[in-house]
Amino acid sequence: MPNRPQPQFPEPDTKHYWDGVKEGQLRYQTCNECSSVNFYPTAHCQKCGGRNLTWKVSKGEGTVYTFSVVMQNRIPGFQELGAYAVAYVDLDEGFRMLTNVLVDGDPTTQVKIGQRVRVEFEKQDSGEYPIPVFRPI
């Protein structure tokens, strides 16, 4: 299994998000005051500062906004992955997340901007939290 860094706690803003990941849910927030989609998770709305946020569950599908295939990384847990694609994915619900797009072949030719992708909760050797990554649909 992969050995990606785990989220660290106590960290109040993202705890509910990661609890969701454990249950196979990709959670995000919307603001009850200005209706904007709030992501990364925070205690207050990043647009209007309101503290009245609602947690929702994403369908987990989105589009690759941009990506880069990393060839050189000194971080433990990534060296053994070989070349891997870091990407921003725009989820259909209107939030953008940093993630990895996994493909079976060469990521430099198989990952593309505009590609439709779906979330997958990848189990880790590094700890109890799976990591949400994406694969082309």
Partner 1 sequence: MKVAVTTYGSTAASSRMAIGTGGRFGGASWQTNMEAPYGSTLISNYAMVKQRHMYQYGTTNEQLAEISVATRKHAMRNPEAVKAMTDLQFVKVDNITVADVLESRMVASPLRLLECCMVSDGGGAAVFVAPEVARDIKKKPVWIIGTGEATKYRENGGDITVSAAAQSGPPAFAQAGVTPDEIDIAMIYDSFTITVAVCLEDLGFCKKGEAGQFVGDGHLAFDRPGLTLNTDGGGLSSNHPGMRGLFLLLEATRQLRGESTSQVPGAKLAVAHGNGGLLGATHTGGTVILAAD
Binding-residue pattern over the window 15 to 54 for partner 1, x denoting contact by CB under 8 A: --xx-----------------xx-xxxx------------
| Residue 23 token pair | 């249950």
Burial of 55 (0-12, 13-18, 19+ CB in 10 A): middle
Distance from C-alpha of 119 to C-alpha of 14, rounded to nearest angstrom: 18
> Counting contacts by CB under 8 A, is residue 121 touching partner 1?
no
Dihedrals φ, ψ of 71, to 5°? -105, -15
Number of neighbours of residue 113 by Cβ within 10 angstroms: 11
Site for partner 1 in 51-110 (CB under 8 A): 65-75, 77-78, 81, 84, 86-88, 90, 94-100, 108
Please give the residue ranges that form the binding site for partner 1 (CB under 8 A): 4-11, 13-14, 17-18, 36-37, 39-42, 65-75, 77-78, 81, 84, 86-88, 90, 94-100, 108, 113-114, 131
